[in-house]
A and B are shown apart, each in its own frame.
Chain A
């Protein structure tokens, strides 16, 4: 997979991050290095091997459908947001 400045700009726009030209270059370099490092795995033959989705070999970790008290109240949670109005989280206009 080839990573260039355009890739970084695309990813930043998907996540609505504003990044400078300088940051773009640094991030591109960093991500290229990471991918290069990880790509050593490509030398292995994984033909016919099931992909690993998680490493704990757990399955069917479910809970009962019962309401339990939560660790934080509505007020505490709302207080953590940048701005609130009428018990809702106020954000810049989006459409």
Chain B
């Protein structure tokens, strides 16, 4: 029997606000000491009241727009109770009944549409480190604003699961709501996978693999679960509804928590936070400067830039934004410089925030088109546009200073060719060429290039040589 996999994904996105969701304390704990980014609210000291960060509301509006979602006019917070040392409150403040972001969809590069059920705001929990006989608690992450994005079960392959997560990562970075640093857990994915016989109406029993933090591990975990569940079903056994962990090194899912006891979170409205009511005007104002999204760029550049190059560049919103400012005739050259020169640089990440001006890049492409710069020289000048010592001088000035501008003036070139042909040491080569030895032309072109100090355009030189020697 053939089984069809059905996958739904929950994604937690850490928002890059300056302060936490419920208190005015530093939200960026990267590289900071444990428990140094905490407030009495994070500690849940008696009587502490949460103070809602307005920026998180604005980011939620932007995140929702990126996923073509309805922004709900009215939303509010609830308490989700659980007992665990990563949460001093004893509950998580989340939006269970009335989330801020309603239904929408994400379109994958393949064209597959994954519907979004909803997305809501909530506070993150602390971090536990386990030792032999005890555990240590770091509350730096407590109340970091999260958006939890819940997809519909519209995904049916490991590849689409991978692509969906990657597209979400791009959308959230284009919308400017997260650093998107996967290594540091800025985005975490939970995948729900079930199998059902082809044509069946009902979905099978699902498992949930929690806390994946790379697209590759999402893809592998889905592949593994599909295989594991297929094997069970084919052997006539049952899939247990389970929460699983992913062991990346071993490439297997492992039982994490037994579900003998159904969860009982005892949700209740959060009495300390008044509801959020968003007017159409407020939403429109927040979205007035909403940037182009990956699909806008695909539409715009799909016919110009090769699809594989475009998909690589789309990982970098800064590069796409810059490409958007480049004259259409120069887009292909500049996109190639971005993908094959800039991204190959070891320090490319540092360059992204300080890209050359569109005017400089346009000029570079035009000089290349006029053959004033060879392709090697174009690349050299391009990298100099990032050089703190050089940039600011402008493309043409840099090319001149480096002596990279090619001599295309035919009469000037002809004069250099004459000088070379008058030299006794080229006499034999000239005779050989006239006698039909085609390959000595390379030697003669080389001599002219040397005479011009490398500035001559080699193909023009060859043309002149051939004329003069015929």
Question: Chain A: residues with CB nearer than 8 A to chain B?
Answer: 10, 14-16, 53-54, 56, 58-68, 70-72, 74, 77-78, 80, 85-95
Q: Which of B241-293 contact A (CB under 8 A)?
A: 264, 266, 269, 271, 273-277
The answer to whether A60 touches B274 (Cβ under 8 A) is yes
Considering the chains assembled together, what is the distance between the CA atoms of A59 and B53 in angstroms?
14
The answer to whether A93 touches B133 (Cβ under 8 A) is yes
| 9 other A-B residue contacts (CB within 8 Å) besides A63-B51, A74-B35, A88-B34 | A14-B83, A59-B275, A60-B277, A62-B54, A63-B53, A65-B53, A71-B40, A72-B45, A93-B130
Chain B interface size band reads 35 or more
The answer to whether A94 touches B131 (Cβ under 8 A) is no
* B137: Cβ under 8 A from any A Cβ: yes
Considering the chains assembled together, what is the distance between the CA atoms of A61 and B275 in angstroms?
8
Residues of A within 8 A of B128 (CB): 94
Most buried by B among A54, A59, A89: A89
The answer to whether A91 touches B81 (Cβ under 8 A) is no
The answer to whether B136 touches A86 (Cβ under 8 A) is yes
Residues of B within 8 A of A58 (CB): 274
Residues of B within 8 A of A93 (CB): 130-135
Considering the chains assembled together, what is the distance between the CA atoms of A56 and B34 in angstroms?
38
* B346: Cβ under 8 A from any A Cβ: no
* B443: Cβ under 8 A from any A Cβ: no
Binds A, one of B15-23, B192-200, B215-223, B331-339: B15-23
The answer to whether A56 touches B54 (Cβ under 8 A) is no
Considering the chains assembled together, what is the distance between the CA atoms of A77 and B40 in angstroms?
7
The answer to whether A53 touches B23 (Cβ under 8 A) is no
The answer to whether B139 touches A70 (Cβ under 8 A) is no
The one of A65, A71, A91 that contacts B85, using a Cβ cutoff of 8 Å = A91
The answer to whether A88 touches B138 (Cβ under 8 A) is yes
Check A66/B54 contact, CB under 8 A, given A87-B33, A89-B35, A93-B131.
Answer: no
Q: Is the interface of A mostly helix, strand, loop or mixed?
A: loop
Residues of A within 8 A of B266 (CB): 14
Question: B255 to chain A: closest CB distance in Å?
Answer: 12
Q: Is the interface of B mostly helix, strand, loop or mixed?
A: loop
Question: B50 to chain A: closest CB distance in Å?
Answer: 10
> Number of contacts between A and B (CB, 8 Å)?
121
Residues of A within 8 A of B132 (CB): 93
6 A-B pairs (CB sep. < 8 Å): A14-B266, A60-B277, A66-B24, A70-B23, A88-B136, A89-B35
Considering the chains assembled together, what is the distance between the CA atoms of A94 and B87 in angstroms?
13
Most buried by A among B24, B33, B82, B85: B24
Question: B470 to chain A: closest CB distance in Å?
Answer: 75
The answer to whether B19 touches A94 (Cβ under 8 A) is no
The answer to whether A10 touches B19 (Cβ under 8 A) is no
Most buried by B among A60, A66, A68, A71: A60
Residues of A within 8 A of B43 (CB): 72, 77, 80
The one of A14, A67, A78 that contacts B26, using a Cβ cutoff of 8 Å = A67
Residues of B within 8 A of A54 (CB): 269, 271, 274-275
Write the chain B residue with the least CB distance to A57: B274
Residues of A within 8 A of B271 (CB): 54
* B57: Cβ under 8 A from any A Cβ: yes
Check A94/B84 contact, CB under 8 A, given A66-B18, A88-B129, A88-B138.
Answer: yes
The answer to whether B24 touches A63 (Cβ under 8 A) is yes
The 9 residue pairs across chains A and B that have the minimum distance between CB atoms: A62-B54, A65-B55, A88-B136, A68-B24, A89-B137, A58-B274, A70-B39, A53-B269, A91-B85
The answer to whether A74 touches B135 (Cβ under 8 A) is no
Write the chain A residue with the least CB distance to B128: A94
Considering the chains assembled together, what is the distance between the CA atoms of A85 and B90 in angstroms?
22
The answer to whether A67 touches B40 (Cβ under 8 A) is no
Question: A81 to chain B: closest CB distance in Å?
Answer: 8
Write the chain A residue with the least CB distance to B257: A95
Write the chain B residue with the least CB distance to A10: B264
The answer to whether A91 touches B18 (Cβ under 8 A) is no
The one of B54, B129, B133 that contacts A65, using a Cβ cutoff of 8 Å = B54
Question: A24 to chain B: closest CB distance in Å?
Answer: 18
Write the chain A residue with the least CB distance to B57: A62
The answer to whether A56 touches B274 (Cβ under 8 A) is yes
Check A67/B83 contact, CB under 8 A, given A74-B36, A88-B137, A95-B130.
Answer: no
